[in-house]
Amino acid sequence: MILEQKIYFWLLLIIPVLVLLFLGLSFWKVRAQRKFAQQAMLDHLIPDRSWFKPVLKLVTICVSIVFIVLALVNLKAGTKVQTVNREGVDIVFAVDVSKSMLAEDIAPNRLQKSQQLVTQIINNLGSDRVGLIAYAGSAVPQLPITTDYSSAKMFLQALNTDLISSQGTAIAEAIQLAESYYQEESEASKVLVIISDGEDHEGEAISMAEDAADNGVRIITIGVGTEKGGTIPIKRRGITQSFKKDRDGNTVITKLNTETLSEIAEAGNGTYIDGTITANAIEELQDELSGVDKVAFDSQQYADFASQYQWFLALGLLFLILEIFYSNRKTPWIKKLNLFNE
C-alpha cells in the first residue's frame, strides 16, 4: 500500500470541529427552548421532533469526510507481484553510536550527521542491497541485507547512544559482524561503510580489516567530527546540563581520529572519506562504488500500483447524499416501532 498525498490527513481535523459546533449549537437550542416553554409543552408543540436524526446527520457527514479525505490521499495498492532482475552491490553500513558521537563540533552533532549521510547515500542508491549495524563497545545487528530502503532509513533514524551500554569503538567487532551479513552463495560485491569519529578505538581492527579484504569485503570509512574536537554535552529534555568529564574532573575533548580510519580503510582495500560536507562525501562514495562490479540478483517486489481513490470518493459522495435526504422529523414507520424511544 502507498499513501501518495499524506498531507490531506490534516483535513480530518474538520471532524472534531464539527462535533464541537454541533454540541455547542445543541446546548444553545436546549437553553433557548427551555426559556420559551416547559418540556411537556414543547413535546406537544413539536411532537414530530427527532432527537436522533441530528446525531445521525452528524455521523453521516463525518463518515463522508473520512472517505473523501482517503480519496484525496490517493491510496495505491499493488496489483501484481513479479520477479524483477536487479543488479547491484551488497552494502553494510556500520554506524558508531558511542557517546563521543554526541559531540557538536560538526552540526547538528556527529551521530545526526552520520544519520544524514547514510540517509542521503541510500537515497542515491539504485538497486543495491543494504544492511545496518550499530556499534560502540560492542556491535549489534540492526537490519539484515535488504532492498527495503524505507525500513533501512527507519532503523537508521532510531539509532541513539543509549542503544549499547558498553562504551568504546569496537570497529573490529563491527567488521566481524558485517562479514556474517553477506550470503556465502551470493556473488554480489561486498562493501562495508564504517561511519565513525575513530576515537577510543579498541580491538584488532586493522588485522580484522585485512582478513575481511581477503574474503572479498571492501571497507570504506567515513570520518565525522573535527580534528580540533569538541565537548560531549549531557542533556536533559534537549537542554545541555553539563559536559562529560574524565576521572580527574576535567572536561573531555573528543577529536576525530583520521589516522585510524585511514589505516582501516587501507587495510580493507578501500578509502577514507571526510564526512564534513555531505555532498562531497556522497560524491566520493559514489565514485568508489562505481568501480565495484555489480552482480545481477532477483528480488520480488510489487511491480504495479493502482489508485483506489475512486472507491473512497464514491462512498464519500454516497454518505453526503444520504445526509441531504435526512430530515429532523421522526420517520413515521420508525416512529411506530419506537426503536429510539422517541
Q: What is the pLDDT of residues 24-75, one digit of tens each?
A: 988 887 777 666 656 555 555 555 566 677 888 889 999 999 999 998 988 8
The enclosing domain of 265 has a CATH number of 3.40.50.410
CA-CA-CA-CA torsion sign (184, 185, 189, 194): negative
Question: Crossing angle, helix 52-73 and helix 14-36, to 10 degrees?
Answer: 160
**Does 313 lie in the same domain as 292?**
no
Alpha helices for the chain (secondary structure H):
14-36, 39-45, 52-73, 110-123, 149-157, 171-181, 205-214, 258-267, 278-290, 309-325, 332-337
Question: What's the whole-number mean pLDDT along residues 326-333?
Answer: 56
> What burial letters (b/e) apply to 292-304, b meaning 16+ CB within 10 Å?
bebeebeeeeeee
**Does 129 lie in the same domain as 45?**
no
On the question of pLDDT at 113 being above 60, the answer is yes
On the question of pLDDT at 197 being above 70, the answer is yes
State the pLDDT confidence band at 1, using cuts at 50, 70 and 90.
low
The least confident of 103-117, 197-211, 223-237 is 197-211
The least confident of 174-178, 242-246, 264-268, 316-320 is 242-246
pLDDT computed for residue 83 by the predictor: 63
What residue type is 221 in one-letter code?
Answer: T
Question: What's the whole-number mean pLDDT along residues 244-268?
Answer: 89
3 state SS for 236-253: ECCEEEEECECCCCCECE
Question: What's the whole-number mean pLDDT along residues 96-124?
Answer: 92
Q: Is the peptide bond before 233 cis (omega within 30 degrees of 0)?
A: no
Which has more confidence, 183 or 109?
A: 109
pLDDT computed for residue 135 by the predictor: 92
On the question of pLDDT at 85 being above 90, the answer is no
pLDDT computed for residue 304 by the predictor: 65
**Does 237 lie in the same domain as 272?**
yes
**Does 261 lie in the same domain as 157?**
yes
Alpha-carbon gap, residue 173 to 161, rounded angstroms: 17
State the pLDDT confidence band at 339, using cuts at 50, 70 and 90.
very low
Whether 165 is in a domain gets the answer yes
Question: What's the whole-number mean pLDDT along residues 109-124?
Answer: 93
Mean pLDDT of the chain: 83
The least confident of 71-85, 103-117, 314-328 is 71-85
Q: What strands, in cross-sheet order, belong to the sheet with 272-274? A: 139-146, 129-135, 90-96, 190-196, 217-223, 272-274
**Does 90 lie in the same domain as 62?**
no
Q: What is the pLDDT of residues 134-180, one digit of tens each?
A: 998 889 999 999 888 999 999 999 999 888 887 777 899 999 999 99
pLDDT computed for residue 74 by the predictor: 85
- Residue range of the domain that includes 28: 2-74+308-337
291 close to 61: Cβ distance less than 8 angstroms: no
pLDDT computed for residue 340 by the predictor: 46
**Does 10 lie in the same domain as 99?**
no
219 close to 267: Cβ distance less than 8 angstroms: yes
**Does 287 lie in the same domain as 320?**
no
**Does 283 lie in the same domain as 165?**
yes
285 close to 273: Cβ distance less than 8 angstroms: yes
On the question of pLDDT at 244 being above 90, the answer is no
Q: Which residue, 144, 126, 5, is CA-closest to 72?
A: 5
With a CB cutoff of 8 Å and minimum separation 6, the contacts of 277 are: none
Take residue 289 and report the three cell numbers written for it: 562504488
Which has more confidence, 221 or 169?
A: 221
Place of cell 541485507: 145
Please, which residues bridge with residue 219 across strands? 192
177 close to 141: Cβ distance less than 8 angstroms: yes
pLDDT computed for residue 293 by the predictor: 73
**Does 248 lie in the same domain as 162?**
yes
211 close to 182: Cβ distance less than 8 angstroms: no
User: How many domains, in total, are found in the chain?
Assistant: 2
Percent above pLDDT 70 for the chain: 82
Alpha-carbon gap, residue 240 to 238, rounded angstroms: 7
With a CB cutoff of 8 Å and minimum separation 6, the contacts of 318 are: 64
pLDDT computed for residue 200 by the predictor: 61
pLDDT computed for residue 194 by the predictor: 95
Whether 131 is in a domain gets the answer yes
The structure's pTM equals 0.63
Q: What DSSP string runs through 269-318?
A: T--EEE-SSHHHHHHHHHHHHHTSPPEEEEEEEEEEEEE-HHHHHHHHHH
